[in-house]
Structure 1
Amino acid sequence: MPDFSLYPDMSLTGTPFLCTLAVLAVVALGLPLLLWTRVRGPRAVRAVTRVTMLLFAQLTAVTLVFTLVNNSNQLYDSWSDLLGTGDHVVHAADLGADGTGGVVLERLPKVRQTFRPAAGPGMRAAGGVRVTRMTGRVSGVKAEVYVWLPPQYDDPAWADHEFPVVELLQGYPGSAKAWFGTLDVHEQLMPLMRDGTIAPFVLVAPRTALVPGADTGCANLPGRVNAESWLGIDVPRMVIDNFRVRSTPRGWSVAGYSAGGHCATRLAVAHPDRFGAAVSLSGYNDPAVERASLTGRDPALRAANDPLRMLREAAAPPRISLYLSGQEKDGYEDAMALGRAARTPTSVQVVKLPRSAGGHTMALWRPQVVPAFRWLTGELGGHRTADGTPTPP
């Protein structure tokens, strides 16, 4: 198979590849119209030639439609993601119950990352998204992380301000770019951050598709992947080392849709010492809902990674806030179950979406971005505006 990484202009989500497919589709449609009656040779040869032209036309049409759908929903970011050949795990040691492997996190030296402008649909809007590729010092994961800074970040009036962070998790399959390229999170929020309606959050979108052809469930699985430590330790520490952000749990939240919503809830319930709030859009509790989930295949892992069961069996109710939205039979019932299981200081807000709002798609989740961030603004609170007044909830 060709190494498409050597031809960045022909990347899966690149414009040149899309244009090439469009041209091929037109050519494939025109060939039978022009050559159908002009094919020469024995009957068998003519039949094979005509069938080949029809198959070529169908193949290019299907490929073009798939590419358009993929670009619109940011399902696969690269050829390796699509073909299941990418593996972002350097090593996956047994890190123990706390996911640190005995490492004293406070003693880890700061690591400065080099960021570059991110490419792709929507990535240059609203001030632009930047990207870096890092290797987790605890998790052993090597992958990219996208970061967007709010408009106040470089404002001299905010020079001493530490900003709250929202870690954004995509569904499965899905690209870390989807929050910016499809949900337009930065474009939706930037004007509201400017006028003080919504607090200025730093947005961080790490890769969650770490192993070929499987959803990690954002869990640590010794010998396979340490996704929980990647998302809960390595990514936050990198952001804290490189940006002017808060380091306390009330300064960090996590949000996701679909499988990413499951991960967001699970991470917050498991680590109230790291995340103070979570947003789940059409998420679920039982990891087996996602057929490709590694944690859903084993009964013990399935039970251990169900946020409802985790909440019920917690030694003490975690000090977290949850915002859970969904439609009937698509997240709503699971959200209500979490709400019934919650005990103070755990707080749960459930939003029921009407069936008319759409199905389990980006079109359903895009309009939920602003309400979710309004809620986060109220929950994390205490964010001053440039003139010193509190940001309104």
Structure 2
Amino acid sequence: MLPLLSTRLLVVLAGMSVLIVVATVLLWDRAPGPRPARTGLRVVALLLGQVMAVATCAIALNDYGFFYGSWSELLGHQDRVAAVSRTDHVRTAPDGRGVVGGGGRVLGPAPFEAGSVPARDGKTVTVRLPGRRSGLAEIGFVHLPPEYFQPGWEHTQFPAVEVLTGYPGQATDLLKTLDVPAALRQVQRAGTAGPMVLVMLRSSPAFPRDTECVDVPRGPQAFTYFSQDVPADVASLFRVRPVGWGAMGDSTGGYCASKLAVTNSYVFPAAVALSGFNSPPQDLTTGDLFGGSASLRAQSDLVHLLRTGHSPAASLLLTTTRTERGPSGLDAVQTLQRAARPPLQVDTLIETRGGHSFSTWRPELPTVLAWLSSHLHPPRTPTG
């Protein structure tokens, strides 16, 4: 079977759609059999053409938005690791390929990784990050900057940034559609950002459920996964600073990034929310996130936390547009900004126009990555 995210699949479906239309037109008056049989064949041909056209459009839309990464995800099936045993510390080879251990595994090169030279372009690898504390696991991507492979940096620890998708996005969004590594290369070469490691994941580690970065009572511990497990797993595989991470995300991922900085600023002192929310929605995709507890819900409402005296030593950059409405629009951004008190710093990037879409977020990446770099500690070489 052709992969769901496959240009070949799209070409095959489009070709079949065209062939069915052409065949229907050419054979319309040549259908064999009595009149009822001919009518039935024509109806079947028309329906088949409609089905193929809809399927082609659906595959094209998924290819653009990466809502589902495989047939198994589309059908609601996904392998999940419930627990991880401890093993010896990981040794990281010069090419960035790790030995299994510490709860993580490097699976190989990332898709869409053109023949790059690591010491010039950096390198993106596919990783599996099974969380020991949460029992959740995700397959994502880690981008290592060129300096990671250059002489003189062999013992350097780099700042890391957790980059999260919206829902129901896939981690491949961050590679193919947004191409965050390319934006990082751009700002590094321009001298507006320093080297950093990008850890790219989808925001729903219990997919297809939308967990909204919440530790669900008697359910998926999504916040624990992103706030504790991911940094621990990545630090076991690569030379990254154990604390002082950044977080960045779009939509649901933007809310999660802000929440990480507001509630766990020691590990995540800086975050960027691209059209992020101030509080998680509850709908058919989320289910009951808080077990009916108003108190737990309030703890995930960022505006409520800031208005009731919570003021972490962190920095946020919130982006939106003047034409965006709803929970990620200008009013929501200004509400969160007004609720903030020192030492929390809230900066904003407000575009004149744009929507809740990749086409709005992609041009913002150089600016927000430069901002993140300026709010993270630079690479360091441990002493002792």
TM class by shorter chain equals: 0.7 to 0.9
Equivalent-residue separation in structure 2 for 1:277 and 1:215 (angstroms): 24
Which residue number corresponds to residue 42 of structure 1?
34
Equivalent-residue separation in structure 1 for 2:360 and 2:56 (angstroms): 24
Distance 1:122 1:32, change over 3 A: farther
Distance 1:297 1:180, change over 3 A: farther
Equivalent-residue separation in structure 2 for 1:54 and 1:68 (angstroms): 21
Which residue number corresponds to residue 48 of structure 2?
56
Residues 1:285 and 2:278 aligned together: yes
Is the partner of 1:134 in helix, strand or coil?
strand
Which amino acid counterpart does residue 371 of structure 1 have in structure 2? T
Is the partner of 1:343 in helix, strand or coil?
coil
Which residue number corresponds to residue 387 of structure 1?
none
Residues 1:359 and 2:335 aligned together: no
Which residue number corresponds to residue 4 of structure 1?
none
Equivalent-residue separation in structure 2 for 1:134 and 1:161 (angstroms): 22
Equivalent of residue 207 in structure 1, options 199, 202, 209: 202
Percent sequence identity is 37
Which amino acid counterpart does residue 110 of structure 2 have in structure 1? A
Which residue number corresponds to residue 242 of structure 1?
237
Q: Is the 8 A contact 1:327 1:352 kept in 2?
A: yes
Q: Is the 8 A contact 2:204 2:222 kept in 1?
A: no
Which amino acid counterpart does residue 41 of structure 1 have in structure 2? G
Q: Is the 8 A contact 1:89 1:211 kept in 2?
A: no
Which residue number corresponds to residue 98 of structure 1?
none
> Which range moved further: 172-181 or 72-81?
72-81
Deviation at 1:180, TM superposition (A): 1.2
Which residue number corresponds to residue 262 of structure 1?
255
Which residue number corresponds to residue 90 of structure 2?
none
1:44-76 residue CA offsets vs partner (Å, 9 max, x unmatched): 222221111112112212211221221122222
Distance 1:289 1:261, change over 3 A: farther
Residues 1:318 and 2:316 aligned together: no
Which residue number corresponds to residue 166 of structure 1?
161
Equivalent-residue separation in structure 2 for 1:362 and 1:381 (angstroms): 29
Which amino acid counterpart does residue 293 of structure 1 have in structure 2? T
Equivalent-residue separation in structure 1 for 2:251 and 2:13 (angstroms): 30
Which amino acid counterpart does residue 57 of structure 1 have in structure 2? G
Equivalent-residue separation in structure 1 for 2:291 and 2:14 (angstroms): 40
Equivalent-residue separation in structure 2 for 1:178 and 1:345 (angstroms): 34
Which residue number corresponds to residue 81 of structure 1?
73
Q: Is the 8 A contact 1:206 1:231 kept in 2?
A: no
Which amino acid counterpart does residue 375 of structure 1 have in structure 2? W
Q: Is the 8 A contact 1:166 1:204 kept in 2?
A: yes
Q: Is the 8 A contact 1:264 1:279 kept in 2?
A: yes
Is the partner of 2:375 in helix, strand or coil?
helix
1:284-326 residue CA offsets vs partner (Å, 9 max, x unmatched): 1131277633438956243331111123335x51111000011
Is the partner of 1:143 in helix, strand or coil?
strand
Is the partner of 1:326 in helix, strand or coil?
strand
Query: How many residues of Structure 1 are paired with residues of Structure 2 in the alignment?
Result: 353
Which amino acid counterpart does residue 72 of structure 1 have in structure 2? Y
Is the partner of 2:349 in helix, strand or coil?
strand
Equivalent-residue separation in structure 1 for 2:148 and 2:129 (angstroms): 23
Q: Within 5 Å, give how 1:20-39 maps onto structure 2.
A: 20-39=12-31
> Which range moved further: 68-77 or 255-264?
68-77
Which amino acid counterpart does residue 275 of structure 1 have in structure 2? F
Q: Is the 8 A contact 1:136 1:235 kept in 2?
A: yes
Give the TM-score normalised by the residue count of structure 1: 0.83
Q: Is the 8 A contact 2:216 2:290 kept in 1?
A: no
Residues 1:217 and 2:209 aligned together: no
Q: Is the 8 A contact 1:257 1:280 kept in 2?
A: yes
Is the partner of 2:198 in helix, strand or coil?
strand
Deviation at 1:195, TM superposition (A): 4.5
Distance 1:312 1:293, change over 3 A: farther
Is the partner of 1:171 in helix, strand or coil?
coil
Equivalent-residue separation in structure 1 for 2:330 and 2:189 (angstroms): 33
Deviation at 1:203, TM superposition (A): 0.5
Equivalent-residue separation in structure 2 for 1:27 and 1:17 (angstroms): 15
Which amino acid counterpart does residue 251 of structure 2 have in structure 1? S
Deviation at 1:123, TM superposition (A): 7.1
Which residue number corresponds to residue 150 of structure 1?
145
Which residue number corresponds to residue 331 of structure 2?
333
Unpaired segments of 5 or more residues in structure 1?
1-6, 92-108, 385-393
1:192-242 residue CA offsets vs partner (Å, 9 max, x unmatched): 324532111100012333335431011111332111111111111111111
Deviation at 1:124, TM superposition (A): 6.5
Distance 1:303 1:287, change over 3 A: same
Which residue number corresponds to residue 344 of structure 1?
342
Q: Is the 8 A contact 1:288 1:297 kept in 2?
A: no
1:81-124 residue CA offsets vs partner (Å, 9 max, x unmatched): 32333364637xxxxxxxxxxxxxxxxx83462331122x4677
Which amino acid counterpart does residue 222 of structure 1 have in structure 2? P
Deviation at 1:132, TM superposition (A): 2.0
1:103-162 residue CA offsets vs partner (Å, 9 max, x unmatched): xxxxxx83462331122x467765542112232111111221211111111011322321
Is the partner of 1:288 in helix, strand or coil?
coil
Q: Is the 8 A contact 2:257 2:272 kept in 1?
A: yes
Is the partner of 2:272 in helix, strand or coil?
strand
